[in-house]
Amino acid sequence: MKQLLLIRHGESQADILHVHEGRADFSLTERGHSQAQAMGKWVAEHYCLDLIFASTLKRAAQTAQYLSEAAGVEVNADEDLMEFNNGLLVGLPFEEAAARYPRVENLPPDQSVYGQYEFRARADRALARCLAQIPDGATAAIVSHGGMINQLFASLIGLPPAASPRFLTGDTGIHLWVLAQDGPRLIFSNKQEHLLDM
């Protein structure tokens, strides 16, 4: 049996600028740094981490660093854990993006602006690589992004790429999976009690 914590990054500059983030490489805000520090402390108090994997984008890498310092475990950077590649939308204000690139409803996944199949394939690769490195009885954390966490959930439970699941993950939200021989079990989702005193 293995335990896997999936953790979203803290608040980023894009959140307060109201722009499309995706591959835009924004840093955490001051609040985001505080959130990440609180998350790292909470996880270290409740779990003995053996491994940490993280996206290479700044907001996730900075969040993972707080977890690393609190848990005393090095971060394994993995580019496959980056958020979706949103192409022309990257860094654009929401209103401008909507005017310049109106959303097409019911577009097949293989034709979507977000490259749904490629995104899921990255999640599958990253998850398989991470799980292969976690010994039985160990606990690992993946620090990534809301979209990627959705894809990792879908990969864990075997949903098809076209399913496009939507699992809520707030700033530094934590999800716990237990990976047993009879399949994965979601223990809790989007836990944020570490933010209650903020």
List, for residues 144-175, the tens digit of each pLDDT value.
999 999 999 999 999 988 777 789 999 999 99
Angle in degrees, CA 34, 35, 36, rounded to 5: 90
DSSP state of 42: H
Instruction: Give the tens place of pLDDT for each residue, 22-65.
Output: 888 999 999 999 999 999 999 999 999 999 999 999 999 999 99
| Most confident region among 29-38, 89-98, 112-121 by mean pLDDT | 29-38
Amino acid letter for position 73 = V
Q: Cβ atoms within 10 A of the Cβ of 106, count? A: 4
| Residue in this structure with the two tokens 């740094």, named with its chain if needed | 33
Please give the helix or strand (H or E) that residue 167 lies within, else none.
none
Q: What percent of the chain has pLDDT over 90?
A: 71
Given a contact cutoff of 8 angstroms between Cβ atoms, the answer to whether 167 and 8 are in contact is no
Q: How far is the C-alpha of 18 from the C-alpha of 94, rounded, in Å? A: 6
Given a contact cutoff of 8 angstroms between Cβ atoms, the answer to whether 12 and 26 are in contact is yes
Angle in degrees, CA 151, 154, 156, rounded to 5: 110
177 has which bridge partners? Answer: 4, 186
pLDDT-derived band at 125 (thresholds 50, 70, 90) equals: very high
Helix, strand, coil percentages for the chain (3-state, nearest 5): 45, 20, 35
Give the per-residue pLDDT at 59.
98
Q: Which residues are catalytic?
A: 9, 83
**How large is the average pLDDT for residues 69-81?**
98
Contacts 24+ apart (CB under 8 A), 73-80: 73/49, 75/143, 76/51, 76/52, 76/133, 77/53, 78/53, 78/54, 78/126, 78/129, 78/130, 79/55, 80/122, 80/123, 80/125, 80/126, 80/129
Q: How far is the C-alpha of 177 from the C-alpha of 129, rounded, in Å? A: 16
